[in-house]
Chains A and B, each alone.
Chain A
Amino acid sequence: MRHVDEYRAPQAIKGLIQRIAATMTRPWTLMEVCGGQTHAILKFGLDELLPERLRLIHGPGCPVCVTPLEQIDRALAIAATPGVIFCSFGDMLRVPGSHGDLLLAKARGADVRIVYSPLDAVALARREPTRRVVFFAVGFETTAPANAMAVYTAARAGLTNFSVLVAHVLVPPALEALLSAPGSEIQGLLAPGHVCVVTGYRDYERVAARYGIPIVVTGFEPLDLLRGVHAAVVQLERGEARVENQYERAALRDGNPAALQVVRDVFTVCDRKWRGLGEIPASGYTLAPAYAGFDAVQVFGLTDVTVDEPADCLSGLVLQGRLRPTQCPQFGKRCTPEHPLGATMVSTEGACAAYFHYGRTPAQAAHPDAARENEVSAL
């Protein structure tokens, strides 16, 4: 596939890894923000190939992982309402709420359907005028334009049986919360490439300046990620702290104006609670007043619910990048993809699930190179 395969070329990857190793005069710690980047790092085993002194922390870039219990509980309540068709991206179906997940709700009789695009949910509402169709509008800034267009399209069509449960979250405020937390070890960031395609990266310039760290806008293929790492390492070695764009083929400094416009029309910024990080001001979207009629919380009269979440799992610390999944005492024992204790294990983008699925053991996490040799020699 064009624009994919070129970035998976083994020779170029090996060369770049050597170059990174040669550039490093001391250990460095970077965070890749996006769950998709974490997934790619583990799927391609980049953490195994990178020098041991280069430490990668997995950030909270998984909208699934950071969606708080309340939102899932609202989704479950709506899905259980008679006459509702509840539409969602696949990722959300296994995220646990207080009493099960959407898949379980489906097993118990709720009409829960997976959609690939929010427009599919709107089309469904058109086809099923006697049912109430609700779409679970989750995601970061990348997905907000699409979700906004769905609402806009429904409004234009005069649909009265369509609503959205909005659970959007924004990256820069979460990054600031992480970087300002005491004990943060993050020395550089790989910024989420597709978020920046939409939003541009001006907002990250402020973050780089305030915290004195290099931020490299990075894509998702192995060569993208390695170029991002390399660029960050070069800056760190030189004592620089600026925003650099590695994802030049897709991301521009000002982002996508058409996409941003529809987001501004349909959504307004609000405070949001993040699973594992608590409430962060101005870190989410809610529907703008003109579109309030499409807000599922209003349509279904859901009172504001706060859920006491038992502190049994360490998702929060993993999300903050302060704990590796394998350092969690529950990992692989009480907490597995079948019995997830937290969303980082449930979501395939979650750091814990990715570690589990790609077979990372505690030994590997500590010394990826040594562990790999052990594995290979044990064959």
Chain B
Amino acid sequence: MNGFDALAAGLACPVPVNDDTVVQMAHGGGGRKMAQLIDGLFLPAFRSDALAQLGDGAVLTVGRERLAFSTDTFVVQPPFFPGGDIGSLAIHGTANDLAMCGAEPLGFSVGLVLEEGFPMNDLRRIVASIAAASAQVGAPVMTGDTKVVDRGKGDGIYINTSGIGRVRDGVSVGPERAAPGDVILVSGPVGDHGIAVMAARNGIDLVTQLLSDSAPVLPLVRALLDCVPEAKAMRDPTRGGLATALCEIAVASRVGMRIDEAAVPVRSEVRGACELLGFDPLYVACEGRFLAIVPPQAAERALAALRGFPDGAQAQRIGEVTAGDPGRVLLRTAIGSHRRLERLSGEQLPRIC
């Protein structure tokens, strides 16, 4: 046996861990494992055309109106973080999902799961925050529900919000509508929310002025759609970050994409934190940002519309939709090389290596 064979014989390899007998954190991480759960469990079970679109919300036609319907559940820890709290996040998150469908929100539902022992003062603060956010968005909380679970069974507070909205006339956005030649825009710097939340975690302990970008994107979306009603697709990059959102649209539209890494705006603090933890900013969650895909002749108009707002001041063109391999998102690095952007496998974990 030569040296090579001897080495091959002595190889080590563990049993693959593909144990899906229990739910794991990665199933909620926004990456591939979550996609597998959706494709493998939810879609076949629920068999609905609307669901199969996998948009930020479902669009249904009722008479002459198109209504958008969306839901989101919020489990963020800690519940109070720099720049927001779970209450404001819960309204903005769902309002933003409706906005991504091109819809104006009509109203929200709020479902609370509270853990026995959760401080009443904290609840008051959160409820006030929900109220303020819904006023800011201009749509009321119409209905709700409250449950309390035993101490130790709930992580403080979980919030589910659902929202219903009316899709603007003349607007038709969806993840399947991107076409070769379309331009890809992002409304502002990415990764603020993910890093702001991570920084506050025990054991990470980063000190920063960075605020979560949790905010309603509605004013920017309204301005964009006023100027560019022919916008093709919008998505807010939450879990899994910008890269995952791009991959999802590329897959849904069966197109390729080319992204210019140097063009993606990232705040210096986010870069610093990512360097320290070994994260890639393109995969860090945002909460008050969105990407928009528009026809090429509308790109300048769209950018101008976004830049008219403080939250959109750093809006940038970051790439184009191409006719390449469907689902393939290619990143051109600042030094001229290329690499493919994939969906995240699980969550990004801080690394030493």
Contacts and interface: CB of A to CB of B under 8 A. Distances in A.
Query: Per the CB under 8 Å rule, do A and B touch in the complex?
Result: yes
Nearest to B258: A379
Given A49-B335, A107-B24, A311-B10, 9 more contacts: A44-B337, A48-B338, A97-B14, A98-B15, A183-B3, A311-B9, A337-B345, A378-B256, A378-B324
Contacts of B26: 103
Contact of A341 (B7, B16, B353): B16
A90 B350 contact: yes
Interface string B1-37: 0111001111111111111001111100000110010
Contacts of B341: 359
Contacts of A311: 8-13
Given A182-B2, A276-B12, A313-B11, A375 B330 contact: yes
Given A91-B349, A114-B203, A339-B16, A103 B25 contact: yes
B350 A89 contact: yes
Contacts of B275: 1, 4
- Of all A-B residue pairs in the complex, the 9 with the closest CB atoms, nearest first, are A45-B337, A359-B340, A90-B349, A182-B3, A337-B345, A313-B13, A309-B12, A96-B14, A316-B11
B271 interface: yes
Interface string B259-279: 000000000100110010110
B207 interface: no
A309 B12 CA distance: 5
Interface of A: 1, 4, 8, 10, 13-14, 35-36, 42-46, 48-49, 62-64, 68-69, 72, 89-91, 93-94, 96-101, 103-104, 106-108, 113-116, 120, 124, 139, 143, 181-183, 222, 275-276, 278, 309-317, 320, 322, 334-343, 347-349, 356-359, 372, 375-376, 378-379
Given A104-B24, A312-B13, A347 B340 contact: no
Interface in B204-228: 204-205
Nearest to A223: B335
A1 B17 CA distance: 38
Nearest to B10: A278
Interface of B: 2-4, 7-19, 22-26, 32-33, 36, 203-205, 256, 258, 268, 271-272, 275, 277-278, 322-325, 330, 333-342, 345-346, 349-353
Given A104-B22, A106-B25, A338-B18, A322 B4 contact: yes
Given A43-B339, A182-B2, A379-B256, A104 B14 contact: no
B337 A49 contact: yes
B333 A316 contact: no
B352 A143 contact: yes
A89 B204 CA distance: 11
Given A107-B22, A320-B7, A359-B342, A14 B336 contact: yes
Contacts of A342: 12-14
10 contacts: A43-B333, A44-B335, A44-B337, A89-B352, A91-B349, A91-B351, A94-B346, A104-B17, A183-B2, A379-B323
A335 B16 CA distance: 8
B207 to A, nearest CB: 13
Nearest to A278: B10
A4 B205 CA distance: 22
A375 B19 contact: no
A316 B10 contact: yes
